[in-house]
Chains A and B, each alone.
Chain A
Amino acid sequence: MLKILNLSNIFYWIEKLIRFINSIFFILLLVALSFALIFSPPDYLQGDSVRIMYVHVPSAWIGLASFSSIAILSIAHFIFKIKNIKLITKSIAPIGLMFTCLALVTGSIWGQPTWGTWWAWDARITSMFILALFYIGFISTHKFISDENKANKISSIIAIIGLINVPIIKYSVDWWNTLHQPASIKLTGESSIHSSMLTPLLLMFFVLILYCALIFLMKYKTEIIRIKKKNLKRL
């Protein structure tokens, strides 16, 4: 088991995975885009503007999931002190920040034709905005603090504090009166979204997850090389 966790083995598998994702990515992207832009029907109320959902919702899910993983891995780092964990969280953070910003921007674009405004300080949007700030804080510690141990500690604390914001984002639509509708897709219980819209949504989510995996693997590989480069200098 520990042999699998060895950086050399991880490096070998990263190379293979990057090649595999590259080989299937564009075909899957074309299929997902066809469903999102051509085959899925317009909404009876929102018309074709509902198609923005196919980039907005997966972006928000990825933003939230990335931060949750960073926070959970940061807790694990505090307990087990495994250096590899910090490489993983550092590689996830830029992806999470980009998708959180995309969720905010595409949400703003969707808000104009739907609500008649580009921006409102409602609970869901504000909590997503705070999530972006936590991401910026996390990334900045690694950028501006040269002492790696200190940067790791501070960024872990930021991630753990930021974890409080995740359930606030999730349940903000239930706890407060917001412009956002309650969740249409539930992991437990019946979803209220029709399959003709659920299929393109899940396809787009899958494609964007593959994209995230690709970026994560490249960033992780860069981090491994950075460490090896440092070790080489010590020789």
Chain B
Amino acid sequence: MIQNFLSMNGYGLFVWGSFAITFIACGLLYYKTFKTLKKYEKDFAKEINELSAERKKIVIENSKIASQVLSSSSKTI
């Protein structure tokens, strides 16, 4: 039964090949997108942390995004 399922009546290579290519491509795009996002978040958080205490306070108070990125990056650390 498993043999039949894997061979797909002689079309196994084509069927599994198509599904494999699709999921590998999707996985790679997900990995690349996720990595880029994390890199940007880390760089952004680093730049905020490098600001003087006064400026940092202004940025966090005025930008919800900055405070969210800072809190999420501190969680990952």
> Given A56-B18, A235-B55, are A47 and B9 also a contact pair (CB < 8 Å)?
yes
Secondary structure of the B contact surface, majority rule: helix
Question: Does A180 belong to the interface (CB within 8 Å)?
Answer: no
What is the interface size of chain A, counting residues whose CB is below 8 A from a CB of the partner?
43
**Cβ–Cβ < 8 Å partners of B12 in chain A:** 48
Q: Point out the residue from A52, A55, A106, A228 that lies within 8 Å of B66, measured CB to CB.
A: A228
- Total A-B pairs, Cβ < 8 A: 107
What is the interface size of chain B, counting residues whose CB is below 8 A from a CB of the partner?
36
**How many angstroms between the C-alpha atoms of A47 and B14 in the bound complex?**
12
Contact A228 B30 (CB under 8 A): no
Question: Does A72 belong to the interface (CB within 8 Å)?
Answer: no
**How many angstroms between the C-alpha atoms of A112 and B25 in the bound complex?**
21
**Cβ–Cβ < 8 Å partners of A38 in chain B:** 5
Contact B59 A225 (CB under 8 A): no
**Cβ–Cβ < 8 Å partners of B76 in chain A:** none
Counting chain B CB atoms within 10 Å of each CB, the highest count among A52, A109, A113 belongs to A52
Q: Write the residues of chain B forming the contact surface with A, with a CB cutoff of 8 angstroms.
A: 5, 8-12, 14-15, 17-19, 21-22, 25-26, 29-30, 33-34, 36-37, 40-41, 43-44, 47-48, 51, 55, 59, 63-66, 68-69
